[in-house]
Amino acid sequence: MKISLYTPLALICLFSVLGLTQGFAQEEKKEEKPIPEAQSFVTQHQIVNGGISISYKATAKEHYLKDKDGNPTASIWAVAYTKTAVTDPTTRPVTFVFNGGPGSASVWLHMGLLGPQLVQVPSDANADDGAAPYPMITNKDGILDLTDLVFIDPVGTGYSRVLGKGKVEEFWGLTEDANSIAKFMRQWITENNRWFSPKYIAGESFGTTRAAAVANVLEGDGQDMALNGLILISQALDYAGSTSIHDNITSYLTYLPSMAATAWYHKKAGQGKTLEAFVQESRDFTYSIYAPALYKGNLLNKEEKVQLAKTLSHFTGLDEAYILRSNLRVLIPRFQKKLLEDKGLAIGRLDGRFMGDEGDDVSEAPHLGDPASYQISAAYTSALNHYYANTLKIHMDRPYLTSNDAIGEKWRWRTVPEGKYWEPMPVNTARLLGDTMRRNTEMKVLVASGYYDLICPFFDAEYTFNRNGIVTERVHFTYFEAGHMMYTHHPDLLQLTSEIREFLIRH
């Protein structure tokens, strides 16, 4: 046999290729991190709610969601408070709680409204939360006497994360998110033998968008789970009414009564009238005069425009000339800067009661961010981490993300699969809620709105729920003299917990 001089080189190349291939395989194998063991922390506690001493168990736990082959693709972190020594769990309600974003953990409703311990921030919105330590109180006005509570952090928030071969695209989207939360709820109900328990969802902001979608998803997948009720705090079901941008006529209408309420609060309009009377006046004007005028546009003559500017100034406290220059359409970020321009202050978006002193007094919109957010967020973040470590004895190997901006940047709003035709339009899960209410004739809805909420306006809640096929006879509206997170105002915290308590008792 003739041996080529190049054979050794060929063999070397062959071995090299085999070695590289093996190396790549090993590297790929290294990149696939092993699935860690799910963490769980269980503690026992006692509290007095509703005048009753309640012994309860706190279970802070990672729950693994799995694909069709049984492989974990994500973990959802949830903290469940369940009453101990319950004779018949089928009569004990359970309420699933989450916040919004998308990209927010459940810290706000957990540490601000429904959890066993709450952090206190300045109730009058006239002061910053300051620096640690922050005051913590036992939530003696809570609802653990009426329902178990499960606080959910969607994938990418809190301690929840993607695992194994899972991808964020499977969870970071309107439909994908609803599917994962519904899957978690069914899993929790099954593991805890609670299929016969009355079931509720409490969501805030985008959490209400999610709640309506989840309620609809729960009807399918061969595991129909009917909910007893939804508690929607600062609802955001139809985004046409909560998106203040040019040429969105709906938003000019839905935001005006909130502008009027906020101007009243800052004594720029409506003086000598009660808040409720002034708000009703603005409602009547919006429906009867402002809406037709906006649809007429340039068909309005000069005298009509001047009269409208005068009336809008009456409600908003803004200068008539400025309103005319704005073409009778004032965007919310501009309102935030203009209302207290004489004092050099910008007002909050989440809550118009809050005020921030900005370095640039002539910018078109607040440039420091939202004072209703940055003046309280440190207290909530610190309180949750302190509470987790010292009361629930939770010790994890990674930080708890109260919010995750990356989620919003990558969020998929499409409601149909890729490749299928879809015309972009404002997000709207209100129709899903209407359909669900008609199929589930026992489901009731509580809608809580803040008068000074300049991101999810209270008038939008009325506008949305009086359309979209929603059964309004089973919807209860309630209002608060605060903003998006009305529970930061202590009198409203008491009112809201009282409203939720009555809602649970009635239904």
Nearest 5°: the CA angle 194, 199, 205 is 135
**H or E element that contains 97:** strand 94-98
172 close to 410: Cβ distance less than 8 angstroms? yes
Q: What is the pLDDT of residue 17?
A: 42
DSSP-derived secondary structure letter, 219: T
Among candidate residues 338, 353, 370, the one where a domain is terminated: 370
Q: Which amino acid is at 185?
A: M
Q: Are both 187 and 218 inside the same structural domain?
A: yes
Measuring CA to CA, which residue among 113, 42, 111, 110 is closest to residue 82? Answer: 42
Q: Which residue has the tokens 């009112």?
A: 495
49 close to 141: Cβ distance less than 8 angstroms? yes
Q: Are both 192 and 69 inside the same structural domain?
A: yes
Q: 145 lies in a domain?
A: yes
Q: Are both 97 and 229 inside the same structural domain?
A: yes
Q: What is the pLDDT of residue 31?
A: 61
Cα–Cα distance list, 136 to 48, 149, 487 (Å): 16, 20, 15
Q: What is the pLDDT of residue 11?
A: 37
Q: Are both 355 and 417 inside the same structural domain?
A: no
Q: Are both 236 and 250 inside the same structural domain?
A: no
Tell me how far apart the alpha carbons of residues 226 and 224 are, in angstroms, rounded to a whole number.
6
Query: 345 lies in which domain range?
Result: 246-370
Among candidate residues 311, 340, 370, the one where a domain is terminated: 370
Below-50 pLDDT ranges, the chain: 1-21, 23-30
Instruction: Determine the 3-state secondary structure of 440 from DSSP.
Output: coil
Measuring CA to CA, which residue among 44, 5, 497, 483 is closest to residue 265? Answer: 483
Q: 120 lies in a domain?
A: yes
CA 394, 397, 401, 404 torsion-angle sign: negative
Q: Are both 263 and 403 inside the same structural domain?
A: no
Q: What is the pLDDT of residue 484?
A: 97
188 close to 63: Cβ distance less than 8 angstroms? yes
Q: Are both 358 and 310 inside the same structural domain?
A: yes
- Residues pairing with 79 in the sheet: 60, 151
DSSP-derived secondary structure letter, 288: I
Number of domains in the chain: 2
Tell me how far apart the alpha carbons of residues 245 and 333 are, in angstroms, rounded to a whole number.
9
Q: What is the pLDDT of residue 29?
A: 47
Q: 35 lies in a domain?
A: no
Q: How much of the chain is in helix, strand and coil states, percent to nearest 5?
A: 40, 20, 40
